[in-house]
Structure 1
Amino acid sequence: MIPFCPLCGNLMFVQEKGARIQLVCNICPIFQVITKTVTSKTYYKLKEIDDVLGGAEAWKNVDSTEERCPKCAYPRAFFMQIQTRSADEPMTTFYRCCNIECSHNWRD
């Protein structure tokens, strides 16, 4: 909960004054002494990251070209082009090795 000043509505800030901790408003002469410390942690579930290329389904209907795989040296690779940066930048070409045992992904 974020505390706001009851008079002016501005955000109240935490201030240490000796042994006590209080909330103070920078505009009004209002302060509230903090008597109880409340802590809680909430762990939100992280969204699963989608594959930038669309997962395995995106590679089903793509063309292949003569591009050598840097991992297994297979002479052909599937490719697709995706606009990953702003519109005035060139498209990024992604490759996947045609060798089923390798299936290495890289980009140009």
Structure 2
Amino acid sequence: MTFCCIENSLAFYDVKSSQCHVGILFCSECNNMLYPKEDKRTKTLYYACRNCDYSQEADNPCVYINKLEQEVDELALIVPDVVHDPTLPRTEDHICRRCGKQEAVFFQSQTLKAEENMRLYYVCTNVDCLHKWTE
């Protein structure tokens, strides 16, 4: 990641995605920091100086992006106590690969990534095993 100065603003240039994101903007008249404001009449974003009357229209309506990406093992999020839930369906068609028991509790859930489809999750009903898998 490379930092650069673009027209009175502190920005960073992401080499991987070839995008430049504006961070802090500075007033061209008094060099103080500009703050995001909303023009309620036109519903547009602009930046204004708190020390003088300078303002400028925002190039982008986005003020802040907080993008968190962390890979999580979705099977680790399944609580083993689901085997005791009488409302969940059970199947004998899916044999546990760990202990060989021929009964499992199953349920359908959306994966952690919203763009993926729903998925079936299985939990072995052997309380000494409680192996979790998906197909």
Shorter chain as denominator, the TM-score bin is: 0.3 to 0.5
- Structure with greater Cα Rg: 1
**Which is richer in strand?**
2
